[in-house]
Structure 1
């Protein structure tokens, strides 16, 4: 669940925040991810984690499923992909809504080195 050798376990014990434009994000890897525009309530954009391989390079990413479906076409549930990258500290580098109700998060961590 936390990587082949449990290297991502410590990330599951913390949450990481990031502001982007008018949005605030709270990323809790392996638990849940929220997006908020104050003063409105937060929107769940991912939970229920699973590892998947993406693209031609076969990179493993953490997909967080079953987010809120409000304002998503066809009541599709929001989903987030966390791409872990080698870095000196644990932090969210960027968050983008790459498709409607689909998010990509780049996350720096020594666990990915």
Structure 2
């Protein structure tokens, strides 16, 4: 492989990585906007249905398969991810997660 081909290959990889990063940032921005919209919809009393809480927990988590088997573990992971003190954390999203926990706590009495 000549020098120019190797340079183009490396440069192409950098461009592809930059595009992937830009896509991931845009997707995160859209998801955060959706989470903020959901938080506004549940109102000041933070009341929501059980189905809505389960769906939001599924959306807030990365591990889709574990939500239904162990929602407590999924909640804890999501809380660590979205906590405002963590890098890339978000306060509104964390409050939405807390509202979900309040609803799910009634269904799962072993939760503290």
TM-score, length-normalised on structure 2? 0.21
Larger radius of gyration: 2
Highest RCO, 1 vs 2 (Cα 8 Å, sep ≥ 6): 2
Higher helix share: 2
